[in-house]
A and B are shown apart, each in its own frame.
Chain A
Amino acid sequence: MPNTIPNKQRMKMPRQPMPERPAVERSHNFEEVNLGFDFDLATNEALRCLACARPTCTIGCPVAVKVKEFVALIIERDYLGAAAKIREDNVLPAITGRVCPQEDQCEGDCLMTKRVESLAIGHLERFVADYERKTGQVGIPKNAPPTGKRVAIVGSGPAGLSAAGDLVQKGHEVRVFEALHELGGVLVYGIPEFRLPKDIVRSEVDVLRKMGVQFETNVVVGKTVTVDELLGEEGYDAMFIATGAGLPQFLGVPGEHRNGVYSANEFLTRVNLMRAYRFPDYDQPLYDCRGKDVVVVGGGNTAMDSVRTALRLGARRATLVYRRSEEEMPARKEEVHHARDEGVEFQMLTNPVEITGDARGWVTGVRCVRMELGEAGEDGRRRPVAIPGSEFVIDASLVIIAVGTSANPLIQSTTPDLKTTRKNYIEADPETLQTSKKGVFAGGDIVTGGATVILAMGAGRRAARAIDAYLTDQTREGELMSNATLLLKGKEYELPVIEGTEGETAIDITSLRAKTGAITYDPGYGNTGSCSSAITFIDGEKGILRYRGYDIEDLASNASFVQVCYLLINGHLPTTPELLAFDDRLTRHSLIHEDMKKFFEGFPPSAHPMAILSSMIASLSAYYPNNDDDLNIIRLLSKAKTIAAFSYKKSIGQPFIYPRNELSYTQNFMHMMFAVPAEDYIVTPAIDRALNLLLILHADHEQNCSTSTVRMVASSGANLFASISAGVCALWGPLHGGANQLVIEMLQQIRESGEGAQRFVDRAKDKNSGFKLMGFGHRVYKNFDPRAKILKKAADDVLSSLGLRDPLLTTAMELEQIALNDPYFIERKLYPNVDFYSGIIYRAMGIPTNMFTVMFALGRLPGWIAQWKELVDDDKTRINRPRQLYVGKTVRTFAKAEEAMAVTA
């Protein structure tokens, strides 16, 4: 049914009035003031629309709602269609229909405004949004296919919500972080129930949730998590900061600390968010202003909300104090009109100079001065000037300050590369809202300072557009980046470039030989990624070592070795029941087959324990030939420590000591090592802790020699025990696992020479001496080995708890002190490394030097197992088969023997 009424006629139709709850009734409760249009009012109002060819209303709308289209649908009684039309541009119509300053936007630009009254666009918007909500048939727009890009939005106020709606529709994954416990930002803590019922906010948020937007409350970005962490560890590709208005401003007059003085933010938050008006049903307390006088200072919407709230809480007299005249008040016209109807007293051109109080610190009144408007200031508004001698006091027991806010610094202070304005608001391009930080956009009050809901929503929409464009560009760049060009003998080849989660770049050469016939040359594999792995991350430059994403420092100070075993092998930390079950299985599988004890007899007493360990581990495959990998992993972890301890007992000719099930993994090992049938061995807490630490610190170190060996052997399909046994052999070598043994041998050398540590330090500095200090610096860690720092403390603890007087350890401490203070060592970053301290601790524990590599192997076992499992579980695993560059003789023919002899002779 198109509108057939001629335009001239339409201009004569009166604007339909919004039905309101009577002022007397409403000023005492929190029910919504405006009751909303009914069908007739809506139709009659919609028929007034001139349906202009150039719709100035849409141009005047910060989010460009298609006004004439949705109004036409109201005339056709297609209310759901009308709502869907609005939702194309505005995800929160029930809210904006209530709180937008329409008179300054769409309605202000309506052609009819000049002649008669404007179309009631806000009321119509609210009408269709309410209709839609009441029917429960919210038209959820369809999202574009997933782009795989993730956007974090900070703040769930109007800017954040509108950006979230737009971005999720573009196919991006969107997560909104909210600092408070409820979603909606200013819509729930600032705007009162009587102006915007909270149920409406909740249902608008639910629509977004149905569209796929994720929400997380109780996250204060800048504190709980930083911008850099969201873009880094948490993997967001872009961010929109919409944290809103920040810290409340006060007047700076005497007495503002008196009890009974609130910022509008606090007063409204207590009432709206915390429902303090329903105390004691709700626990949050609020000053009881029933029968009291209340003064609100300010002229904006927040001041209006505060003064009307005070009335509803039972104030006897509610007065609004504003330093300019009513004309200059920034509040919405409708709110001013409502406030007046409800009985708010207006004291215009009045400014507080002091808040008076009693001896107990409570407010008694506001001393004010009358103002007059003087010259225009920088902003073009006439500046209020105090009239001398005009002071007077307004009695009050409650004073609410609503004079604006300043920027909250929480994000800015923890994001150093985010540029801010002089007043500490975030600097953003007015069009794209791009900040100084790549991928980070900002909008709403945190950029502009306090403004309106719809302006914030407009910012949200602009940001969404810019973020979408940015992510699209990034995808394109990513595609360009994802190839490397190889120029070989005048011909170009494209090779894919892949990136790890920590940003390492690798050129994928799997197709190199097939495409070019060439191979890469990298003896020692120093530049070759032999696999991709999700187990351990090392950044040698920064001194980072992480297992499954956890910093080694975290694990060392909080986890046990058994927890770390579980973490490495399974990829996540065990829950308490998981840990108990795992620990129990480890305990129950610690015995070795009695027949295996005979193997020990076959070794000479001087046998290196690594020879015994590797043979025994390989032999386990003979006892457990099935392919129950899960169980075999438990068996191996548990029995390895038993084998290690037995090999020690064998070397010193003592009887084997069986494990005891009431002991922990580490205690059990020490028990089997040092108890004898005649005497128990008690493990002190310091030793237990140190052993846990040492094992944890050695538990994995990504693709080193022994680990690569395990993977190499496993790639042929060899069983777990055989693969790990090979790893043990690789670790045996002095360049790999023997380093801490060398430290002790060096200390012995220093000790025996009787020359003192300083002499040796001097010799180490002299390049020609040929002497090298063992246990200083590291090939991978160019800075400080994170493990060494942890071990230094453990070494101190163990030594002090045991009170040892081992001369070798005294030498070690001397050496450490010299090295830590000698500029030569400091400049070259030659800090004592993990081998240095681990050697000392093992020595202090009484573990003999030739057992050091065995201890290393015990620690490394979970790492090897995790790497083995990762390889076996990967469907794409192929047998490892490196190539070579042949540099031997080229083809020659076999000659008769005598000729060959002649040649050589």
Chain B
Amino acid sequence: MTFRIVEAGILGPAVKQFEIVAPRVARKQRPGQFVIIRVHETGERIPLTIKASNPIRGTITLVVQAVGKTTSLLNDLGAGDTILDVVGPLGKPSEIEMYGRCVVIGGGVGTAIALPTAKALHDAGNHVTAILGARTKDLLILEREVREASDELFVMTDDGSYGEKGLVTDKLRTLIAENAVDYVLAIGPIPMMRAVAETTRAAKIKTMVSLNSIMVDGTGMCGGCRVIIGNESKFACVDGPEFDAHTVDFQVLMQRNAMYREQEQQALASYREATKACANA
């Protein structure tokens, strides 16, 4: 059985959204969970967080940013194409409770991952403030959907081309100063998540981050995704992917995520070469 893409759309530069038929996953998915996919027979297994699922249509929605070979390959697919393997939903779902005032922060493609949790927090009766961060206006994704899933939305851009100029943590600091914040969820690049953790640490605000470590099986079998959480070794695939931001060793996470940088660059270069050759032929 393969997994068919029924819809594909472009969300931004190198960012695509796919609706994929995966009925078993669609039935069980909860916000915060991910799938592991393998595109074709010689492909690698990579984790992707599920943005949404529709159990009636039997589909899940993934948002993919082309950064390496596999994600570039994925983003060259369209409706009607198939993916060889999709397994999930994996990882623990986000803990949805009545926290009170919540701030959900999405950086770059992390926005797609934060969206379902924001929606669930909002549905559970929380007051949800969303902060989206991007380098520049064109890189902002899913603004409308986040706006619908939250009570208020702030957009921060590094160059001030849209929303306010500044970092997501600038806005977060203002929000904390104005009003008590009970819960923060930050998903995005590691430096952003680390900065958010530092911003909320002193005030002891419950802060969760979703860790994108390198995985193979996604079921706890290989231990490749191990991270240091409060001096203990945890597996992001089964104990996470969400962890208390104040206990995460971001340095080790960043170092481990760089483990295959050379091979990744080599694979991407040869893929670009090959696709260019195809285009020229």
For residue B223, give the distance in angstroms from its CB to the closest CB of chain A: 4
Stretch at the interface among B103-111, B133-141, B152-160, B264-272: B264-272
Nearest to B90 among chain A residues (CB) is A223
For residue B200, give the distance in angstroms from its CB to the closest CB of chain A: 25
| Cβ contact within 8 Å between A281 and B219 | no
The reply on A607 being an interface residue by CB < 8 A is: no
A715 to B221 CA separation, bound complex (whole angstroms): 59
Residues of B contacting A259 with CB < 8 Å?
255-256, 258-259
Interface of chain B, main secondary structure:
mixed
| Cβ contact within 8 Å between B228 and A257 | yes
Can you name 8 A-B residue pairings with CB atoms under 8 Å? A189-B217, A218-B86, A225-B28, A269-B216, A274-B44, A408-B221, A555-B56, A558-B57
For residue A281, give the distance in angstroms from its CB to the closest CB of chain B: 6
Nearest to A576 among chain B residues (CB) is B6
Known: A257-B226, A274-B44, A555-B56. A283 touches B221 (CB 8 A): no
A189 to B217 CA separation, bound complex (whole angstroms): 10
Known: A223-B28, A410-B238. A246 touches B267 (CB 8 A): no
Known: A224-B25, A265-B223, A409-B238. A283 touches B44 (CB 8 A): yes
Contact among A224, A280, A563 with B88 in the assembled complex (CB-CB below 8 Å): A224
Contact among B28, B86, B266 with A280 in the assembled complex (CB-CB below 8 Å): B266
Contact among A223, A263, A287, A563 with B259 in the assembled complex (CB-CB below 8 Å): A287
Contact among B43, B57, B216, B226 with A283 in the assembled complex (CB-CB below 8 Å): B43
Known: A269-B216, A269-B221. A285 touches B267 (CB 8 A): yes
Nearest to B226 among chain A residues (CB) is A257
Residues of A at the B interface (CB closer than 8 Å) are: 179-181, 189, 216-220, 223-225, 246-248, 250, 256-257, 259-260, 262-263, 265-266, 269-270, 274-275, 279-288, 360-361, 408-410, 550, 554-555, 558-559, 563, 573
A75 to B219 CA separation, bound complex (whole angstroms): 48
Known: A224-B88, A257-B252, A274-B44. A410 touches B55 (CB 8 A): no
Nearest to B255 among chain A residues (CB) is A361
Interface of chain A, main secondary structure:
loop
The reply on B176 being an interface residue by CB < 8 A is: no
| Cβ contact within 8 Å between B252 and A250 | no
Chain B, 227-281, CB within 8 A of any chain A CB: 228, 233, 235, 238, 252, 255-256, 258-260, 263-264, 266-267, 270
Interface centre among A218, A360, A361 (most CB of B within 10 A): A218
For residue A264, give the distance in angstroms from its CB to the closest CB of chain B: 10
A218 to B21 CA separation, bound complex (whole angstroms): 14
For residue A600, give the distance in angstroms from its CB to the closest CB of chain B: 38
The reply on B210 being an interface residue by CB < 8 A is: no
For residue A186, give the distance in angstroms from its CB to the closest CB of chain B: 10
The reply on B69 being an interface residue by CB < 8 A is: yes
| Cβ contact within 8 Å between A262 and B44 | no
Residues of A contacting B222 with CB < 8 Å?
248, 263, 265-266, 269-270
Residues of A contacting B238 with CB < 8 Å?
247, 408-410
Chain B, 18-50, CB within 8 A of any chain A CB: 24-25, 28, 38, 42-45
| Cβ contact within 8 Å between B42 and A281 | yes
The reply on B54 being an interface residue by CB < 8 A is: yes
| Cβ contact within 8 Å between A220 and B259 | no
A563 to B56 CA separation, bound complex (whole angstroms): 10
| Cβ contact within 8 Å between A288 and B256 | no
Residues of A contacting B263 with CB < 8 Å?
279-280, 285-286, 288
Residues of A contacting B57 with CB < 8 Å?
558
| Cβ contact within 8 Å between A284 and B259 | no
Known: A266-B223, A361-B255, A554-B55. A181 touches B216 (CB 8 A): no
Known: A259-B259, A284-B45. A247 touches B84 (CB 8 A): no
- Inter-chain pairs besides A223-B219, A274-B216, A410-B220, 17 sampled, C-beta below 8 Å: A218-B85, A219-B87, A220-B87, A220-B88, A220-B218, A223-B28, A224-B28, A247-B223, A256-B233, A257-B233, A263-B224, A270-B216, A279-B267, A280-B266, A282-B43, A361-B255, A563-B56
| Cβ contact within 8 Å between B216 and A224 | no
| Cβ contact within 8 Å between A274 and B87 | no
Residues of B contacting A180 with CB < 8 Å?
87, 217
